[in-house]
Every structure is written in structure tokens, then in C-alpha cells.
Structure 1
Amino acid sequence: MHRYFIQVFGRVQGVGFRYFANYTALALDLTGWVKNCEDGSVQLEVQGKKENISLFIEKLKKGNRFAKIDDMNLKKVETITNDKSFRVIY
């Protein structure tokens, strides 16, 4: 089990990116959260099997048809044992 903190920069707010991330995480059996930041970026934490996280990151880089990813920072963080779902934080 692995967990990563991810910050995504580009055209990622107002284009359905959080909901795309949520749908993709649930489809890959990942847990965590996603939220918009005041600086226009989106932050996420995602937890699950390493191969599923890798696939999730690749799908995020492609984005939905409205988002445009300019940069993405990843940092491995400590896992959360009782994390049961992926959610959008407002």
C-alpha cells in the first residue's frame, strides 16, 4: 500500500478535473481526496496499490478533454490505515 500527495498545475479548475480525478480513483480502487487551491492548482492525496496509482497518475496527466496539465508534483507520504473512500473536498 502506497500513498502520494500530488499537486497539479495548469487549467485544472472550473473544468471538471476534481470529478474526473474522483471517478478515476474510484474506478481504480484508490482512496484519498482532491480539492481546489486558492492559487488555481488542485491538490490530491491518493492511496492504494502502486500499479493502480501509476495508472491514476497517467490518466491525470492526460486529463479530461477540458483540463490542461502544465506540471505535477508528487511526494510519497505515510499511508492512512482507515482511509475507505475517495472524496472531493470543498
Structure 2
Amino acid sequence: MVNVRAHVFVQGRVQAVSYRWWTQRRAQSLELTGWVRNLDDGRVEAVFEGTKKNLEKIIEKCKTGPRFSKVTHIDVVWEKSTGEFESFEITS
């Protein structure tokens, strides 16, 4: 199966609520690679690589987020997979 990439920006109450840790655990369970990080403007940014089916699953999960988060908007940019990642990491 061909892998694709989703570049995702999540807006709302998504910092200081374990959103990055939560995202990493779900990405790993779906065998996705990439990274997630906080942005200075309060959003969370993530890059996921994997099958389109699993990327669609993680995007749906990101719309809800962990218990204390409140997602108000998600932007997704679909891109070609580069295969540059070996795992899914939390970055600064």
C-alpha cells in the first residue's frame, strides 16, 4: 500500500492538556511515523506518514483529542510521503 503524508494544524485548547503525548500514543498504535509539536501561537502542528486509511483515522481522533482539550478547528494539507521518519516523536 502507498503511504501518504498529512500536515495537520490543530486549533483550540490543545496545549497544557497532554495533546502531544496523546497524539503520539495514537499515532504509534496506528503505525504512523512523523512528529508533533506545540506552536508559539497556541496551536499544535503534526506531520503524519502512513496509509491514507490510518491517516484518516488519526485525523478523526485529533478532532476530539484528550479529555481536557477542546479542538475548535483542524487544517489538513495532504502531501506526498517522503519516508524520512522511522518513528513518531514529540518535538520542541
With structure 1 as the length reference, what TM-score do the two structures score? 0.96
* 2:23 match: secondary structure: helix
Greater CA deviation, 77-86 or 37-46? 77-86
* 2:40 match: secondary structure: coil
Q: How far is 1:3 from its partner?
A: 0.2
For residues 43-71 of structure 1, what are the alpha-carbon distances to aligned partners after superposition, in whole Å with 9 as ceiling and x for unaligned? 00000011111111111111111111000
Q: How far is 1:5 from its partner?
A: 0.5
Count of residue pairs brought into register by the alignment: 90
Gaps of 5+ in 1: none
Aligned match of 1:13 = 15
Aligned match of 1:41 = 43
Greater CA deviation, 15-24 or 69-78? 69-78
* 2:45 match: secondary structure: strand
**CA-based RMSD:** 0.8
Identical-pair percentage: 36
With structure 2 as the length reference, what TM-score do the two structures score? 0.94
Which residue of 26, 50, 53 maps to 1:51?
Answer: 53
Q: Match of 1:57, as an amino acid?
A: I
